[in-house]
Amino acid sequence: MAMWIPRPVYEAIPYLYMAGGGALLVAAYLMEKGPRGWLLAAGAAGLTAGLVLWMRRRDYRKTRSEYDTHSLDE
């Protein structure tokens, strides 16, 4: 079963991950006590995930013409 999401939401996902990761990194920087390590790790993971998604989509769009769009059944 395929799940479809609206295009604006799909396009915003990498930016949301990067913004969330950046916010967690800033929160970890501003904290004096508490779970700074966890916030740093989660922030770095969110930032990395957002950048990876953004770069993968960018590369796919550049090389889209090289992909075969026919299904295996044809």
Rg from Cα positions in the chain: 17
Residue ranges covered by each domain of the chain: 9-61
Cα 53 from Cα 74, distance rounded (Å): 30
- Would the pLDDT of 1 be above 80? no
What DSSP state is assigned to residue 34? S
Average pLDDT, the chain: 89
Residue pLDDT, tens place only, 21-52: 999 999 999 999 989 999 999 999 999 999 99
Q: How far apart are CA 43 and CA 55, in angstroms?
A: 18
Distance (Å, whole) CA 54 – CA 72: 28
Q: How many whole angstroms separate alpha carbon 55 and alpha carbon 49?
A: 10
